[in-house]
Structure 1
Amino acid sequence: MPSAVEASGGEPASPVHGGHDSADPRRWKLLALAALGVVYGDIGTSPLYSVRECFHGSHALAVNETNVLGVLSLIFWALTLVIAVKYLVFILRADNHGEGGILALMALLAPAGRGISRRTWVVVLGLFGAAFLYADGMITPAISVLSAVEGLRLASEDIFQTWFVEIIAVVILLGLFRLQSRGTAKVGALFGPFMLFWFLLLAALGVWHILEMPSVLSAINPLYAFHFFVENGVTGFLILGTVFLVVTGGEALYADIGHFGVLPIRASWFAVVFPSLLLNYFGQGSLLLRHPEAAIHPLFEMAPDWALYPMVVIATLAAVMASQAVITGSFSLTLQAIQLGYCPRLRIEHTSSDQKGQIYIPAVNRSLMIAAIALVLGFQSSSNLAAAYGIAITITMVVTTLLFYVLIHHHWKWPTWVAVLFAGFFLGIDLSFFGANLLKIFHGGWFPLVIAAAIYVLMSTWQDGRRLLAERLRASMLSTELFVAEIMVNPPIRVPGVAVFMSGNPMGTPLALRQNVAHNHVLHDRSIILGVQTAEAPHVPDEQRLETEEIGEGFYRATLRYGFMEEPDVPADLTKLECLGAGFDLKKVSYYLGRETLLATPRSGMYMWRESLFSFLSRNAQPATLFFHLPPEQVVEIGAQVEL
């Protein structure tokens, strides 16, 4: 496959990502506005809980000048180095033909590995990173909505007790997840303008309180962070796990470049998001220095008393939009995983006739909903959930840095010492945050670890099971040329029409074809052995979509190729087959599929429990008929048993 870098290997192939970085100023400004609602929802709601968790709770810091200015300094440099420099300047350049995200990066790097070990490590890292993103998709809606609704307790703790706040949060989450089936195309148009209002509100509140104590701006000096560590020692290091909450959502910047392009995402950050977040965080610091008791919920305490309820409503809407972005991101991630062969086929519904990216996956939506509600009821407060939140994203960021090192060293051909220093610097930051989060494992951090481990087992088992099944079928497979030669010795009856035999290996004879001839003793005038392959690129040009080869005696071999961001539509693309002739009626095509019953055996391959799991996943996968958009009334399935 073509590389995403130039032949020289030194720089990205093009500054254009996803076709969105247009020279038209109005277009990219509109995209920048839309990016506010989708890309920055997660990081934009961090002010709800990040500063509070440093100064409130069982492990809170004392509210004094050293600690407040030290935390503000850490927040400033975390946002600057991790988000502004690492992601906005460098990681966003690591696109796979215009698409971003950890699976897109893995797909770009894995095929180019010269050794099996490098390819294996790239795939393992990519799958682990993707697994933790699913865990993030469960935690983000829970902590965002719960932390917003908790603002009601400032009005009256007697009325809005913990159980009541939980019920409100659960009702909001139920409504959010139930709306997913209707799509977000129309609602999404409101996300950008509303989040712009949210960020301007954060900035305004921050400026108001900074003017009360402008000296807090001195925390930009990194010496305050140094003094903070000196004064607090181990406690100061551990608070990094809470400071990390300000950069959660960084992976969304990378995953969404295919939807918006690099320029709009960067413009949104530097023009709106970055200054708004900094102003609000410094404003919260000013408030704490003047009123230490405000640490219970500093963001809501920034607002005037009369504005508390409107502020809770606005924050809740912002939290819902942040959750929406993570949920739809999980749908896109699942589509990539299915196409790349790391996830069983699932039912995918299109919620917009105009935008192909608008999809809904019921199984994923159901799982995220159950998990988010269970987290709200189980952890009961956003403070408890904060412990589970950080560790998932820190591991994902570590994985992204390691994969980025492979890219700059082996693809962009940076000198080894430069690549090591560059990756080592950012890996040191990532590992510092990860180390600070390790103690959270026993206070909720175990949840994303368990979820990610389970998802990794599912994805790796599906991948290994498909490879093992292909090996078993290949061992008993006859080449198509030899099969045709054999049956022509005693030709079966020929009937008019076209038969398409779907095959994972178009070079061999599909089991369905062999069974059809053996038991029915009949062949169509034209038989097409069709394979569907997924490229390591997100999209395949139309001119590269179909390859055909005539075998002889009415047999043809065809291969359809799709990118990992595309859904296959076999009937639509079969119209390009020259052997069908112009004006051929696709309603006269018969599609033959093999339906294998998989049996776990003690033979070498996978452990028995993994073979049983793969067999279970295969039985419950979406039927190939629906996945390939085949007309059910024209499909014939022929079953067989296969021992794994």
Structure 2
Amino acid sequence: MSGDEVKDHTEETLHGVAIEGLKGKKNSHNLLRRYDSLDMESGMVSGHQLNGRKVLNWSVVLQLAFQSIGVVYGDLGTSPLYVLPGTFQNGVKHVDDILGVVSLILYTITLIPLINYVFIVLRATDRGDGGTFALYSLICRYAKVGLIPNQQAEDSNVSNFNLVLPGKDDRRQRRAEAFKSKLENSQFAKVSLLLAALLGTSLVIGDGIITPCISGELLILRLVVSCSIIMYINDKIMWISAAILVCLFMFQRLGTAVVGYTFAPIMCVWYILIGAIGFYNIVKFDPTVIKAINPWYILDYFRRNKKEAWISLGGTVLSITGSEALFAAVGHFTVRSVQICTCTIVYPTIVLCYFGQAAILHHHPEYVKDAFYKSIPGPLYWPMFVVAVLASIIASQALISGAFSVIQQSLALGCFPRVKVVHTSAKYEGQVFIPEINYLLMLACVGVTLGFKTTEKMGNAYGMAVVFVITLTSILLVLVMIIIWKSSLFFIISYVLIIGSVELVYLSAVMYKFDQGGYLPLAFSAILITIMYVWNNVYRRKYYYELKNKVSPQRLMEIAADTSLCRIPGLAMFYSELVHGVPPIFKQYVANVPALHSVIVFVSMKSLPISKVPSEERFIFRRVEPKELNIFRCVARYGYTDAHDMDGPLELVLVENLKEFIRGDYRSSQTIINGGESPEEGIESLAEYEDTIQVEKIEESMKGEIEIVEKAWQAGVVHLIGESEVVAAEGAGIGARVMIDYAYNFMKRNLRHYDKLYDHIPHKSLLKVGMTYEL
């Protein structure tokens, strides 16, 4: 078989695959009624409901729950290793202080991870994806608070887009509309919401740096104490911790499923052991420790210790480290799996562990500096020590997975520099790995481990990051309650007074230790938010520039009708992020290449503020008049967890959908002939018109246009991507010049190029068109 025959056979095979992929789906022309105008909005999408995720059976949910133990809960589950020593840094001064602190830990764990996150915050996932950016996306979906003017009327009719809850009374509806109107009319509110989302994302990433550091160092320090080899490795603790961290990050590339199945059995053993040992200590040493359920001991503790009790909250808050991972990393699993795991395994065993430590400390307060290991019965010490070593390593996993999730979300919405996102599982949606971020997190962790040589400072930094993320999440959640859920005023006020008050008290306590390591996560966040804001700001400026300088329909028709331009066989696909009009880069192409392909499609790759777009609703086509030009516009819509080639090779899927659009367009013409009936309803009526000249012409025109598209595709596809250089315009201020000419262009040169995002496009058919944008 010759090379050309092989190519033709391959193309026919792929063509068949693309067609088969469309079978069984609701064709796009049945979903959208379109008109022959470049600027006219498309029609309405049918309101059928589709989930952004597949409906999972219980066996899959339980498998995900098992995986989540090894990925999400490592941090929360290992908190008993360091909470009581961190709280009683100056020792126990009164025996009832132990009951006060344990009671405080009990209600903190109950209010924040259990009630707040598991039962309230997880209701606000964006089709299963969590994190601050998921909350921001939800708010952007219901209120026009996004800073990029790419809204389209038909986007709100995507099945996964509109989730308005029915059955709310008029008073709540009016309150939601009034609040939404204020947000939409305030530029300050729009910028503040974006900065809050960026800050929350950067804090989760920063938490993903600090968590492995403190876990690794605690592991090595315990190894030193237990094995009595201080003289030999004391000066090498940091280097050993760094080596362990490198191994942990190298393991990430195997994917969440492999990591979860590898770590989950270890964490299951860990939770069983800490729960059993806690119960044993309660029974053996002091069953009356259950008195700590009475919150009066908390008040008594603060009354007795005053300022010192308030300062000690910086240690107590470490009992909820990893709570933010429940939300940030939920996209790797499901809400139901996380809820099952938390309620049946994690929460009960952690509570038993803390009460068991309190029971033994009630008789031996001097053990407080080593409370966890002193509570282990002698025969179990070394087995438990080995499991604790492994659990400490695994504890780092939760925030690393969470960091990957939130970066994927912010990347799709133009708020993060381009990086490669690898979907590590075809079976479970949302499980991703980002090589560049993994590498940078590893370097940052090693740097912090070698630079911060005390676990006390790392603990302060840890607490600061945790409380800030939790507080930001609650602030955004209140907006979701008002605008989207339309919750009762009583519920919103109760949430703010109870959950908000607890978080603010903890926030004030961790701020007290700002200069003792607490500044570290905020320093990381300042760097990350600067990078993200610069990228997003220039991204928006570029969009506004293209919108202002777009090619008008009249100018486009003049270019296409220019007799000096020859039409050559083939299909040309111009890529752009502009969804309104034709990007100015097209004029640059025509000025340098005096030839146009027989079929031209302007493809706009658009990210919607939702996690997934159903495949049958992905493409919107519009025609550029007159029809003889064979020029189309296409908006390809993706959620922030969608891959561009997830439905198959983009060019094949797009061509098949284009042909479906042409058929639907001509069927609309037939509907007019049928007296307004749809093609399906007018089949008998259509038979009556089969012998009319008008119907025959319509059928011939449709077949002819589809044939033109097929011939163009067979002749070859050229993918044209704009390679725009951005510079500050004359008269721009010093801030804009620094941001555009130096900061943005430095990141652009050193990060992933635009064409790398289209790895599925054959490089031999890829053409870049250069143009300079003066912003």
What corresponds to 2:738 in structure 1? 609
Q: Relative to structure 2, which stretch is displaced further, 96-105 or 416-425?
A: 416-425
Q: Please say if 1:120 is aligned against 2:191.
A: yes
**Alpha-carbon distance change, 346 to 258 in structure 1, aligned in 2, over 3 angstroms:** closer
What corresponds to 1:8 in structure 2? none
Deviations 1:502-548 (A, max 9, x none): 12224433344222221221111111111010111100011110111
What corresponds to 1:40 in structure 2? 73
Are 1:241 and 1:390, in contact at CA under 8 Å, matched by a contact in 2?
yes
Q: 1:251 aligns with which of 294, 315, 324?
A: 324
Aligned amino acid, residue 275 of structure 2: A
What corresponds to 1:74 in structure 2? 104
Structure 1 CA distance for aligned equivalents of residues 378 and 505 of structure 2: 39
Are 2:420 and 2:435, in contact at CA under 8 Å, matched by a contact in 1?
yes
**Alpha-carbon distance change, 638 to 29 in structure 1, aligned in 2, over 3 angstroms:** closer
Are 1:39 and 1:325, in contact at CA under 8 Å, matched by a contact in 2?
yes
Equivalences for residues 49-64 of structure 1 within 5 A: 49-56=82-89, 60-64=90-94
What corresponds to 2:674 in structure 1? none
Q: Please say if 1:450 is aligned against 2:523.
A: yes
Are 2:92 and 2:368, in contact at CA under 8 Å, matched by a contact in 1?
no
**Alpha-carbon distance change, 283 to 585 in structure 1, aligned in 2, over 3 angstroms:** same
Equivalences for residues 331-370 of structure 1 within 5 A: 331-352=404-425, 354-355=427-428, 357-370=430-443
Deviations 1:209-250 (A, max 9, x none): 212111222111101111000000011111112101011111
Task: For residue 441 of structure 1, report the CA deviation from its aligned partner.
Answer: 0.9
Q: Please say if 1:408 is aligned against 2:481.
A: yes
Q: Relative to structure 2, which stretch is displaced further, 165-174 or 228-237?
A: 165-174
Equivalences for residues 12-161 of structure 1 within 5 A: 18-19=53-54, 22=57, 24=58, 26-56=59-89, 60-113=90-143, 114=181, 115-117=184-186, 118-155=189-226, 156=228, 158-159=230-231, 161=233
Q: Please say if 1:596 is aligned against 2:703.
A: no
> Which blocks of at least 5 consecutive residues in structure 1 are unaligned?
1-12
Q: Relative to structure 2, which stretch is displaced further, 470-479 or 365-374?
A: 470-479
Structure 2 CA distance for aligned equivalents of residues 238 and 255 of structure 1: 28
SS of the aligned residue for 1:341 comes to coil
**Alpha-carbon distance change, 536 to 350 in structure 1, aligned in 2, over 3 angstroms:** closer
Are 1:152 and 1:309, in contact at CA under 8 Å, matched by a contact in 2?
no
Aligned amino acid, residue 224 of structure 2: R
What corresponds to 2:683 in structure 1? none
What corresponds to 1:10 in structure 2? none
Structure 2 CA distance for aligned equivalents of residues 601 and 144 of structure 1: 49
Deviations 1:60-117 (A, max 9, x none): 2425312211110100010111122111221111122232221111101024333243
Structure 2 CA distance for aligned equivalents of residues 94 and 353 of structure 1: 25
Q: 1:563 aligns with which of 615, 619, 639?
A: 639
Structure 2 CA distance for aligned equivalents of residues 14 and 209 of structure 1: 52
What corresponds to 2:753 in structure 1? 623
Aligned amino acid, residue 42 of structure 1: D
Q: 1:463 aligns with which of 526, 530, 536?
A: 536
What corresponds to 2:243 in structure 1? 171
Are 1:217 and 1:282, in contact at CA under 8 Å, matched by a contact in 2?
yes
Are 2:252 and 2:433, in contact at CA under 8 Å, matched by a contact in 1?
yes
What corresponds to 1:634 in structure 2? 765
Are 2:328 and 2:403, in contact at CA under 8 Å, matched by a contact in 1?
no
Are 1:110 and 1:123, in contact at CA under 8 Å, matched by a contact in 2?
no
What corresponds to 1:427 in structure 2? 500
Structure 1 CA distance for aligned equivalents of residues 56 and 425 of structure 2: 23
**Alpha-carbon distance change, 17 to 152 in structure 1, aligned in 2, over 3 angstroms:** farther
**Alpha-carbon distance change, 472 to 578 in structure 1, aligned in 2, over 3 angstroms:** closer
Q: 1:396 aligns with which of 469, 473, 483?
A: 469
Q: Which protein is bigger by CA-based radius of gyration?
A: 2
Q: 1:574 aligns with which of 654, 668, 683?
A: 654
Equivalences for residues 279-298 of structure 1 within 5 A: 279-298=352-371
Task: For residue 473 of structure 1, report the CA deviation from its aligned partner.
Answer: 2.8
Task: For residue 327 of structure 1, report the CA deviation from its aligned partner.
Answer: 1.4
Are 1:108 and 1:537, in contact at CA under 8 Å, matched by a contact in 2?
yes
TM-score of the pair, normalised by structure 2: 0.77
Aligned amino acid, residue 728 of structure 2: A
Structure 2 CA distance for aligned equivalents of residues 309 and 168 of structure 1: 21
Deviations 1:283-334 (A, max 9, x none): 1122223333322322122224565444333222212222123212211221
SS of the aligned residue for 1:560 comes to strand
Equivalences for residues 228-267 of structure 1 within 5 A: 228-267=301-340
Structure 1 CA distance for aligned equivalents of residues 372 and 50 of structure 2: 38
**Alpha-carbon distance change, 403 to 353 in structure 1, aligned in 2, over 3 angstroms:** closer
Task: For residue 157 of structure 1, report the CA deviation from its aligned partner.
Answer: 5.4
Q: Report the count of equivalent residues.
A: 627
Task: For residue 124 of structure 1, report the CA deviation from its aligned partner.
Answer: 2.0
Are 2:464 and 2:511, in contact at CA under 8 Å, matched by a contact in 1?
yes
Identity between Structure 1 and Structure 2 (%): 30
Are 2:331 and 2:430, in contact at CA under 8 Å, matched by a contact in 1?
no
Aligned amino acid, residue 248 of structure 1: T
**Alpha-carbon distance change, 239 to 583 in structure 1, aligned in 2, over 3 angstroms:** farther
Are 2:68 and 2:260, in contact at CA under 8 Å, matched by a contact in 1?
no
Q: 2:253 aligns with which of 165, 178, 181?
A: 181
Are 1:18 and 1:97, in contact at CA under 8 Å, matched by a contact in 2?
yes
Are 2:322 and 2:398, in contact at CA under 8 Å, matched by a contact in 1?
no
**Alpha-carbon distance change, 152 to 587 in structure 1, aligned in 2, over 3 angstroms:** farther
Q: Relative to structure 2, which stretch is displaced further, 392-401 or 323-332?
A: 323-332
> Which blocks of at least 5 consecutive residues in structure 2 are unaligned?
1-47, 144-180, 660-705
Structure 1 CA distance for aligned equivalents of residues 254 and 64 of structure 2: 23
Are 1:148 and 1:312, in contact at CA under 8 Å, matched by a contact in 2?
no
Task: For residue 42 of structure 1, report the CA deviation from its aligned partner.
Answer: 1.4
Are 1:21 and 1:263, in contact at CA under 8 Å, matched by a contact in 2?
no
Q: Relative to structure 2, which stretch is displaced further, 428-437 or 116-125?
A: 116-125
Task: For residue 279 of structure 1, report the CA deviation from its aligned partner.
Answer: 0.9
Q: 2:263 aligns with which of 173, 184, 191?
A: 191
Structure 1 CA distance for aligned equivalents of residues 306 and 56 of structure 2: 46
Deviations 1:606-641 (A, max 9, x none): 632222312222333422222123221111111122
Are 1:137 and 1:326, in contact at CA under 8 Å, matched by a contact in 2?
yes
Task: For residue 393 of structure 1, report the CA deviation from its aligned partner.
Answer: 1.3
**Alpha-carbon distance change, 418 to 311 in structure 1, aligned in 2, over 3 angstroms:** closer
